[in-house]
Structure 1
Amino acid sequence: MPKEDPGTTICFRLTIDGQSLGDFNGCDGLSAQVDIEQREEGGNNGHVWQLPSRVRHSNVRLTRPLTKETVKVTAWISSVSTGVKRPTAEIEALRLDGSVVARWKLLEVVPVSWTGPTLDPESPAVATEVLEIAHHGFMS
């Protein structure tokens, strides 16, 4: 029986409202934090209630070497100037054979920033881009 790939060679596919913006080789910031409020109850000195309040979601940063799909990313960012539309996004973690390891659906996504490559003929580094997006939470 073959062992399942532990996910050491993963890429991340970003889709915005069904339109693929391509594959990225790095993804950071898929997280959520629940704020907790402590409430002391009168007459109950041995207990403090821990009550959940807000859920906060961090921005997601996707990185990749520069590709021809960069045009799709910059077009999406440029579209914000004509009115903010908050689409749904999907990030899929894929193995090299295309099988899905995990999938996250993000609500009401907006681009926060895009950083293109530094083009320096004296630097042998790979030209990369970074896309940062904000969202209002995960959906099932």
Structure 2
Amino acid sequence: MPQELDPGSTIFFHLTIDGESLGTFNTCEGLSSSVEIHQHQEGGNNGFVWQLPSRVTFSNITLTRPLTPDTSKVAAWISSVTTGIHRPTAQIAALRADGSLVARWGLIDVLPVNWRGPSLNPESPAVATETLEITHHGFTDAGAA
């Protein structure tokens, strides 16, 4: 009898941009979308107000991890924006400690918007971390990213 895996236990997140790995991250925040609603009051119909969908918006995604050699890949991707904007597809995979997949999200038209490197202070030693913030134009089939 196969052992059931805990469906919600994610340990790390793997980020790929156009199929190229940018490494794994410990945290991933901002995987969300919302639909703006337009309220329309129909004349003569006082029983309710129409709730009509108008625009879908997607929040920025923030990924954080301890400093790794993959930082140079992130820096190269950010530097490429200065030579011309290319908005690739991306994929974020939520993985368990054993590397098995929990969930995967494909992202359309990804662009890096913020990167923060480590604070290096010998008076308060801590793990050197980096944070990458990306924006996108929506979700896609995760297998296609």
User: TM-score w.r.t. structure 1 length?
Assistant: 0.96
Change (3 A) 1:14 1:99: same
Mapped to 2, the partners of 1:121 and 1:63 lie a distance apart of 21
Partner residue of 1:57? 58
Matches within 5 A, 1:1-140: 1=1, 2-140=3-141
Paired with 1:5 and 1:64, the residues of 2 have a C-alpha distance of 23
What is the CA distance between 1:53 and its match in structure 2?
A: 0.3
Structure 2 residue runs of 5 or longer lacking an equivalent are none
Secondary structure of the corresponding residue to residue 86 of structure 2: coil
Q: Tell me how far apart the structure 2 counterparts of residues 100 and 4 of structure 1 sit (CA, whole Å).
A: 10
Q: Distance in 2 between matches of 1:6 and 1:123?
A: 37
Contact 2:10 2:102 in 1 (8 A): no
User: What is the letter of the counterpart of residue 34 of structure 1?
Assistant: V
Name stretches of at least 5 consecutive residues in structure 1 with no aligned partner: none
- Deviation beyond 6 Å, 4+ runs, structure 1: none
Worse overlay, 20-29 or 4-13: 4-13
Please identify, of 39-48 and 84-93, the stretch whose mean Cα deviation from structure 2 is larger.
Answer: 39-48
Shift of 1:6: 4.2
Separation in 2, partners of 1:29, 1:108: 16
Could you list the per-position Cα deviations for residues 8-55 of structure 1 after superposition, in whole angstroms to 9, with x for gaps in the alignment? 342000000000000000000000000000001111111210000000
The CA distance in 1 between the partners of 2:17 and 2:4, in whole Å, is 33
Computed over aligned residues only, the root mean square deviation of the Cα atoms, in angstroms, reads 1.0
Secondary structure, counterpart of 1:73 in structure 2: helix
Separation in structure 2 between the aligned mates of residue 91 and residue 5 of structure 1, nearest angstrom? 19
| Equivalences, count | 140
Question: Aligned AA for 1:17?
Answer: D
- Residue identity over aligned pairs, in percent, reads 69
| Separation in 1, partners of 2:90, 2:59 | 15
